[in-house]
A = this chain, B = another copy of it.
Amino acid sequence: MKLGRLNHIGVVVPDMAAALAHWRDVMGATSFEEPHVPQDGLKIMFVNTPTHSGNDGTQMELIQPLNDKTAVSGFLAKNAAGGQHHVCFEVPDIDAAREEFEAMGKRVLGPTRIGAHGTPIFFVHPKDMQGMLTEIMETPKGDH
């Protein structure tokens, strides 16, 4: 594939209200975004970050699991304070990207599905990706 835009960094948080207060009051964020498509069992908020020219930088995706059976519940059980969970890069065509990763022998986790930004996504196993859980996401039509 051709490297796309770093759309967001996924961050698991134990308490969304405390996380939003941190990003607003400590880090000085002024722009937040609700997910376009809710994700089962997860409370999600995006923090917008500035670029040289606007507010369309790589987002921080804050993810709070609402029960102990979600995709991030195990991470929080091991990391009570939360922390960096995954990186997400954009591609123009999700099906072509999936074929490429599979052809390279990378373990794609589960079916392609619709992510929080409303475009198709899949995840690739961290053990095949330099220790980083990596999300691949079809580029949305808007800024994010």
Interface of chain A, helix or strand or loop or mixed?
loop
Task: Tell me how many chains of this kind the complex includes.
Answer: 2
Asked whether, in the complex, the Cβ of A19 is within 8 Å of the Cβ of B53, the reply is: no
Chain A residue total in the interface (Cβ 8 A): 46
B residues less than 8 Å from A79 (CB atoms):
131
Taking a contact as CB atoms closer than 8 A, the residue among B5, B49, B81 that contacts A130 in the complex is B81
The verdict on A56 contacting chain B, using a C-beta distance below 8 Å, is yes
B residues less than 8 Å from A38 (CB atoms):
none
- Measured CB to CB, the residues of A under 8 A from B are 1-6, 9, 11-13, 18-19, 22-23, 26-30, 47, 49-53, 56-58, 60, 79, 81-84, 87, 89, 101, 104, 106, 126-127, 129-132, 143
